[in-house]
Every structure is written in structure tokens, then in C-alpha cells.
Structure 1
């Protein structure tokens, strides 16, 4: 029986995911993976916190069905364009709705996590991009830090981000650097055909041309690639490539996609190959020896090596060759003593 993919273990809660950054593009949505986290949390009776930023609670809460061990933090209703007539009340079925300002997110989330009192808890954002419009980078960094502080082995936070719809005033590099500092799990959603086209050899006839052509109607396909980076508490990072197939009722099937990894380039440096530069290169003088110079060097007899050529040990005898300038004192140093 094949072992489970790490992605499957993280979704089911068998491994601690902590702060999960779910990154997608317009070519392939993160929603199947986000629904998998939601379904897994409900089936395993986790405490559930929904943070609504992109969609109103009335659109997301029906996904919970009759599940009651949940609370909704409503940040979406603070938008000026949000219609007051569509705002839900403080209760939607059996789920409490807690309105809050974006600047209050850390304090409100910590309070709701204490009130849930569940052995395991999942915090799900519908999207993190609206906060990028409201907040400066300094406040975004503080918010991400507070979210990471709430996570532990029994509490995980899933944070989706759309990398191709960021505000013009903020760059992907600055946002990724903030997330990369605090996240422990990075799930990158890749469009399957785009990935195949990027790694394929144009001279490889084993892949049909029809499999590589991207069509606009094929966006958000039922099969996609997940590039996973998972950091353990020990500091070890594990990378994994998975193939995800969507089934009925938002179910997914996860399998290994190691055969879809890009092939190493022939110019890549091998692990056992030294990458140090030659310090003797580009010098104005020569530090190497010719064969004649090396032979003459080997024939030089070094002094004080007689002991290495003796066949028998002399038992610790000291060999001394007196020098003509040696000054020996023949007088008895104790002659003036009455001994």
C-alpha cells in the first residue's frame, strides 16, 4: 500500500500544519484545497473559525450545514461598499457572527479561540487579499505575526492569497517575504498543462502537443499540481509535488507527482563537485612545478634525518656533534663548597 502524501496528512490533521499559506492564480483556484481543509475539520469535529474578508458570511456559512462548533468573524461588513440590507444578524443558524475591524483581528481571534475550547481548531480565511488593500505593509506584518502566534500543534490557520491580484502599491516580493518569515506550510497551486509546458522538452515526442496547449476554457481544471513546502519544528524543510484530482461533492484525490518534476539540467553543479574557485588562477607568477623541478626537489637530502635510516634502536642515545664555537667550562662549579 502506497504511503500517504504529506499534503493529505496536513489536510486531515495527522501532521501539524500551523500557519498555512495557500497561494493560487487565476489559472487555477485554491478552492478545492480550501474546501478539503473545511470538510476535514468538520468530519473530525474540530473547532472552526471562519474569517470572512472577500465574501459575506451569508454566502460562506451555508457550507457548514448543521455544524455548530464554529464561529464567524465578519471583517467583510466593514467595507464601505457592503450593502447594509444584506448584513446578517449576530446569529446565523447556530453559528455566532462576530463583526470586527481589521485592526482588531488578532485580539478577536484569540478571544474566540479560547471560547471554542476544542482539542483541535482550524481557522479558515476565505481570502487574505482584501487586507492588503486596507493595511500598510507594517500592519500586515503585525497581523501575520499575530496569526502565527495563535498557531500550535492543535491550532492551524489557513491563509489563501491570490498572487496575480495584488494591489499596485505592494509588490509580491514584499508580501511573500512577510509570509515566508512566519509560515510553516506553503501550498502553491499550479495549473497542470502550464506546468507540463514549463518542464517539457520541445524535442520529447512522448508528450503530445495537445497536452501542452493552454486553452482559456481549461482554467480551473479538475486536475492540478500542488507544490508543497512543509517546515518542521526541528527546522527541516520537506518539499513535495502532488497531483490533485477533483471528484464529486468537492472531494479530492491526492497522488504523487514526482514524475512531473523538472529534469535537472546538465550544467547543474553536482552535490559532490567543488564550487570553490582556484586561488592560483590569473596570477602574474607561476606557483606550479614542472616535472624536472619536482624531480630535483625530491632528490634533496634534508638534514637531521639519520635516525630515520637506522636499522636498530640505540636505546635513547643522544647524538651530538660539537661545534668549533662551543664554550665548555671545565671548572667544578661546586669547588668553593666544603663538601
Structure 2
């Protein structure tokens, strides 16, 4: 599924790469940038966490001609007179103007490195509203953002990830150069698909999927020791019935189960059935209005 996402994000999609201090998702983010440039898409990058040189390291021309880096790393809060980009400009109007000034007529892909910087200096509801507005189309075709999950409260991370059409949570893999990606993809129909893959990233930012840890384990050969082991072998009581015991059980009539003959006898009593008749006599002093009249109370 990771290879499928690298081949292209649908229009209006929001892909979030969620990482932590144990593993950085920036190399995977740069792989998505390289894949979009190879598809001849216009890519705009909001650079907060690292310098422009570090972000573009490994990206080769002529693909970089379609890459537009808005470097907010030197002055992310806009303290100078003319910052390249600042957190306060993370609004739909400013982002639309920024993209339209340097892009071709077709919509571009917006990459945010990282969304955590914006969330640390702007209200999360306003950030979520801007992301939702960007998804509706216009100058931006799709959004790819890096999110450091351990920098925010769980509610903030959950709110942002709820907006994502695709979520890739990365963690360290079994080897030093490997990582594990837990992928959640939501289609427009509401269907949710999940997968888990082990991958590595080469020097040219190509992602190689190595295996799927979540796949079913291979079947063991017949006659293995685990298959022959009987968990009921050493019990002090028997869990199975013999053939004679099973036959006796099937013939047993339960007390609360009425046979056809018993039902007929109860519903249609025969001539020999008894009845109790009561005829009050003159000595019975029974007052219907006061049934306790004969009591000395």
C-alpha cells in the first residue's frame, strides 16, 4: 500500500506521515516529494524544521525546476521585515496566493515540513480548518504533511489525523536501515483499509518495500511437534464422550421437554381425570366486601 501511495495521491487528499523521536519520517517525506516531481507535478514545500539545503539533498535536476521551497526556517515567526513565510500566513488565502504566484495553471501538491511547527504556534482548530479548506480544491491538488506525534497532546494528534485521507505512522524496523509503516487509507466511500509494511529508503530517495509483518504466517509442515501436541492429554477429567455415552445422551428426554403424548394428555384430560368442586353451605360466613371479617382483629 505504501508503493500505491507513492504513485500518486488522489485530488483533495491529505496524507500525514506521523513519526516520533524514535524514528524520523523526513526521509519518507522527501521520497514523496521526489515521487511527485517524477510525475511532473508542481510541488510547493513549507520548510519549518530544517534548512532548504537539507530538505532538497538528494533531489536532482531537472525535476527540481518544479520544486518551490518557501523557506520559513530562518524566520518562522516573521520577526524580520520581509520573511519568506511565517506561521501567521498559514491561512487558505495566503497559501493560495503563495502557490498561484509560482505555479503553472494546474493545481500543485503542497508539502508541509512540519505541521508540528504550525500546531505549536497556531490554534489547532484554525489549523484543522485550513487543512479542510485546502482539501476542497483550488490551487492545491493534495497535501502531504509531516507530524511529530510525541510533541502534541493525544487529542490534537487525533483531530489532525482524523482529517487525513491517508495516514502513515512510521517506527523503527528490525534492522538499522529499515522502518515499519502502519498505513491507514480512507476512501471517499468511507471504506477504511489498513496495512503494515517494512521498508527502507535508498540514497536516491526510492522506497523499497521489504515485507509485510501483518501478513499471515506460513503454514507449518504436516507432522510437526506442535500440531501433534494434545492440550487435553494430561487432564484429570474427560472432555470427550464415548459412542455409547453419546447415544445415551441423544436418547435422554429432558424434564422440561414435553413429548407429543404428554402435551395431548395435559391439554385434553380423559374421563378418569379428577376435579375438585367446592359448594359453600349455610355455615360459611363469607363477606366478599370484608374477607377478614371472621378474624378477631
Matches of residues 29-108 of structure 1 in structure 2 within 5 Å? 29-57=24-52, 59-60=54-55, 63=59, 65-66=61-62, 67-79=64-76, 99-108=85-94
Matches of residues 304-315 of structure 1 in structure 2 within 5 Å? none
Deviation at residue 131 of structure 1 after TM alignment: 1.2
Deviation at residue 70 of structure 1 after TM alignment: 3.4
**Cα distance in 2, alignment partners of residues 223 and 142 from structure 1:** 35
Given the superposition, is the C-alpha separation of residues 78 and 31 from structure 1 closer, same or farther in structure 2, using an over 3 Å criterion? closer
Which of 135, 139, 147 matches 2:134? 147
Deviation at residue 298 of structure 1 after TM alignment: 6.8
The answer to whether residue 183 in structure 2 is matched with residue 223 in structure 1 is: no
The structure having more radius of gyration, on CA atoms, is: 2
The answer to whether residue 287 in structure 2 is matched with residue 292 in structure 1 is: no
Given the superposition, is the C-alpha separation of residues 61 and 260 from structure 1 closer, same or farther in structure 2, using an over 3 Å criterion? same
> TM (normalized to structure 1)?
0.57
Aligned to 1:254: 209
**Are 1:73 and 1:100, in contact at CA under 8 Å, matched by a contact in 2?**
no
Given the superposition, is the C-alpha separation of residues 108 and 180 from structure 1 closer, same or farther in structure 2, using an over 3 Å criterion? same
**Cα distance in 1, alignment partners of residues 34 and 4 from structure 2:** 14
Aligned to 2:157: 176
**Cα distance in 1, alignment partners of residues 138 and 169 from structure 2:** 20
Q: Secondary structure at the match of 1:124?
A: strand
Given the superposition, is the C-alpha separation of residues 232 and 48 from structure 1 closer, same or farther in structure 2, using an over 3 Å criterion? same
**Cα distance in 1, alignment partners of residues 55 and 34 from structure 2:** 13
Deviations 1:16-54, CA, capped at 9 Å, x for gaps:
681011011122111221121111111111011111222
Aligned to 2:7: 12
Q: Secondary structure at the match of 1:117?
A: coil
Q: Secondary structure at the match of 2:23?
A: coil
**Cα distance in 1, alignment partners of residues 77 and 214 from structure 2:** 49
**Cα distance in 1, alignment partners of residues 25 and 127 from structure 2:** 22
Given the superposition, is the C-alpha separation of residues 75 and 64 from structure 1 closer, same or farther in structure 2, using an over 3 Å criterion? farther
Q: Which runs of 5+ in 2 are unaligned?
A: 218-252, 268-297
Given the superposition, is the C-alpha separation of residues 297 and 113 from structure 1 closer, same or farther in structure 2, using an over 3 Å criterion? farther
Aligned to 2:145: 159
The answer to whether residue 219 in structure 2 is matched with residue 233 in structure 1 is: no
CA RMSD of aligned residues (A): 3.6
**Cα distance in 2, alignment partners of residues 109 and 150 from structure 1:** 12
**Cα distance in 1, alignment partners of residues 88 and 261 from structure 2:** 79
Deviations 1:228-249, CA, capped at 9 Å, x for gaps:
0111111111111111122233
**Cα distance in 2, alignment partners of residues 174 and 298 from structure 1:** 67
Aligned to 1:28: 23
Which of 167, 174, 199 matches 1:186? 167
